[in-house]
Every structure is written in structure tokens, then in C-alpha cells.
Amino acid sequence: MPQQKHSLCGSRNARKKGDTMEKQYDAVIVGCGVAGCFTALHLPQNMKILMITKSDLEESDSFLAQGGICVLRDEEDYESFFEDTMRAGHYENRPESVDMMIRSSRHVIQELIGYGVDFARENGELRYTREGAHSVNRILYHEDITGKEITSKLLDQVKKLENVTLLTHTTMLDVLCRDNRCDGVLLRTEEGELVPVFARYVMWACGGIGGIYENSTNFPHLTGDALAIALKHNIRLQDVSYVQIHPTTLYSTKKERRFLISESVRGEGAHLYDKNGRRFANELMPRDLLSQAIRKQMEKDGTDFVWLSMLPIKDLDVRERFPNIYRKCLEEGYDVTREWIPVVPAQHYFMGGVFIDLDGRTSMERLYAAGETCCNGVHGANRLASNSLLESLVFAENAALHMTRDYEKNRKRQSLESMNEKELPVEVIAEVYGIQMEEFEDSEAYAEHAKHMIWNEIQRDQQEKKLKQEMRKEKAS
């Protein structure tokens, strides 16, 4: 691909409802998944908001979540829910974040139902299912496309907001920052123009890092953009080597995003078999332990996959409970009502990321984060199944409420000391914020550089954790 030369200028073609992209907003939200949408829905409607996504609106990992969303069933479930989350995370979770997520869960679910989200019911009551490492059934779901159901309903609500401009195929390249304060973002539009946009607040809700892996359940355009920018500006990170592998994705020789076979399938009673048709593991182990067991069995058998059978599921019709999985497997030549399917572990979820506090604040002033982009400590070293959607929603709302309080407190004064700079020539804006324009001229080279930055940080974090573990062992002995 030839190098792309860009100028730092405004885009006349960026639009939503006929509007052009403006130079200044009250808030810029990077990402249109559940975290981004919930943020927008909880900000005041007198705030002017820009939401952007790198691809199409439906291509966020939030749409791909199959299994469901956890919820505190009642007060008696609190200790069990808390312990299940902590144990799955190997007790490296932040207890205060786990507590916040659990205690906010009923409120969040009621909001989702109010937005029209249709959870499975039985005799009019919410129906709960169970997944690996949960001690009880506490997961709400919509068929096997819970993420799509939630995200699409939230996105529909966001589209109704007159104060929100939604732009697709728009990429965040950098933040405008100085003195550890975020003043906005540098964007690349669909037309290839580089545009500086000032904002009172910036929310990173731009997903994980699956796009830097060969085998992943994530959309390939989710390449850890916020992580690379955080490394560039010394924004605090946490646990970036904690990357979750999903135990069961449909095996394929094709070079494409791996199709996830939901943990709910095993929660409903599916079995795993080795090449000889023998069960070799407890299917409801935490994901990291089950992934290890599957890889160990593959190595022992000399195979590229193990088998998953839904035939042991007797109490329900898998075609009705898992219609999307059933259809996809049929497309690949497997009828799950008659035969086993080959499955293999693949990269699935990023549990580390940009450090945030309970209010979604990063270490940079006026910069927030939510969802898979960040690390609030809920998941620890291993995410408990179906906690991701809930965690994203809870902390996105927290961040929006914190922005709102700050906005209401300070809206009478000029929002940013630098707002007058939006009228300066773009060359001056670039100089003021230390933007090196040449690094964005070749988009492929820039993406490769960012990928290497992330990999290097993951390896550094791995080595640091390994050293600490060895020191603890040595001290204990």
C-alpha cells in the first residue's frame, strides 16, 4: 500500500443527521459498544456529544457476547457472587470494584429492561442460567445473542438523542494533551483527513486488543488503540498481561475471526471429549484452567482441536436455546443435534488495560475509560463468565455521572483554558500539543508500531509478575 499523506484539517463530509463534524464538543466518546452507549445515555442532553467508531456501528465486540449478563439475584446471593468473581480472578481483583459491580447490577438490569431489552422469561419471571465457575444460576440471557440484544437496543436509544453526533469509520490517533490534561482527540476521518477535536471530556470505550492476535474471537479492527496512546503519554496501565483465552471456539483452518461457542452451552450440559471420545475435564472450570486443560489434551492427542458435544443436553432444544450457534455450525457443516463439533481455545478478552478508579477516571485529567479498554480491577487475573457486559455498563454509568457532576459545577465558566486554540491554524495546534504529523503519514507502519508497543508492554508486565511471584515463593520458603 502506498503511503498516505494527510493534512491536519477539518472534515466537511463527517455527518450525522446532516451535521458536519465540529471543532469542539462537551464530550467525545470513542467507541459505540455498550460502554460508549451507556455513557451517552447517562450524560445530560444539554451536553454536545461526539461518538465515533473505527468501523460500522454493529462491529463492536459488545454485539458478539453470546452467553448473558450476570445479576445479583437477591441479597442472599451477594456473598456467593462476590466469592465466585474473586475466586475466578485468583483473588487479584479489586474488592471495592467487585462490590460496586454487584451492588449496581439490579439497577442496571432494570434500566436495560426499560430500554426494551428482552431477557428470557419463564412463566413471566426472568429465567437464569449458569456458566463456568458460577456456584448458582444468576445469568440473564436472550437466546445466544445477548450482547447483540443489549447493544442494539442501547444504540437505538442513542440514535434518538439530538445532542449526539455518531460517526463511523473514524479513528482516534492521539489525544490532545499537555500538563497531564486531556483537551480533546486527533481523529482520522473516513476520507483520510486528520482532524483535531477539542472536548471538555474524553471517554475511551474502544474495546480490547484481539486484533493484534492471529486467533481471536474479537473483530480485527480492535487493536488496542487506547493502550498504545496511553503508553505514548505515560497514562497509568494495569495488568496488561492478563489476557483471557476462551476455551471453546469453533475450529477452522480459515484465517478469520473465530466463532465463539458460548460457555452457556457447557453450562446447559454439553461435554468435552478427547480424540477417543473420553471426557477429560470438568466443563465448568474457570476459563483459564479449562483452556489449559484443553491445550494439554490437544498436545497429548497430537490434535489441533478437541470435541464438544451438545447431545448430552436433554432438558431443552438446543436449536431454540442456541439458534445462532446452531445456524453457524450448520453453515460450517456440523449439525449439533446429531454430531460433535471441533473446538479450540482462542484469545477472547482483555482483563488489563488503562487504569481507572470507581468513577471511571484515568490518571490523566478529563480522560475517562470504560469497558474492555480499561482495568478497574473487577476481573483480576481471570474474568468470571458474563461479568463483562455488567462491568462495562456499571462503570460507564459511573463515569457519566462523574462527568455530569463536574459539568454542572463548572459549566458557567469556560470549559477549557485551551478552547480558544481551536481557532488557531492547524499547524500551530499540532505544535502546541507536540503532534508529530509524520508518524501518521503511513497508516500501516503506524499500526504496526502501535502493535509492537503493546506486545512489548505485555511481555514487560509478564516478566515483572513472574519476578514478583518468584520472590514471594522464595520469601515463603
Residues assigned a catalytic role: 287
CA torsion, points 309, 310, 311, 316, in degrees to nearest 10? Answer: 170
- For residue 447, count other CB atoms closer than 10 A to its CB: 16
CA torsion, points 56, 228, 29, 170, in degrees to nearest 10? Answer: -40
**Residue with C-alpha cell 455518531?**
166
Going by the DSSP 8-state scheme, the letter that residue 269 receives in this structure is T
Q: Report the alpha-carbon distance of residue 54 to residue 32 in Å, rounded.
A: 9
Of the candidates 451, 405, 57, 56, the residue with the CA atom closest to the CA atom of residue 223: 451
Contact 208, 244 (CB under 8 A): no
Going by the DSSP 8-state scheme, the letter that residue 219 receives in this structure is -
Contact 98, 294 (CB under 8 A): no
Q: Report the alpha-carbon distance of residue 344 to residue 135 in Å, rounded.
A: 25
Contact 380, 351 (CB under 8 A): yes
CA distances from 366 to 23, 180, 181, 415 (A): 17, 9, 6, 11
Residue 108: in which H helix or E strand, if any?
A: helix 95-114
Which residues lie closer than 8 Å to 233 by C-beta, 6 or more apart?
175, 177, 364
For 253-267, give one letter per residue: b (16+ CB within 10 A) or e: eeeebbbbbbbbbbb
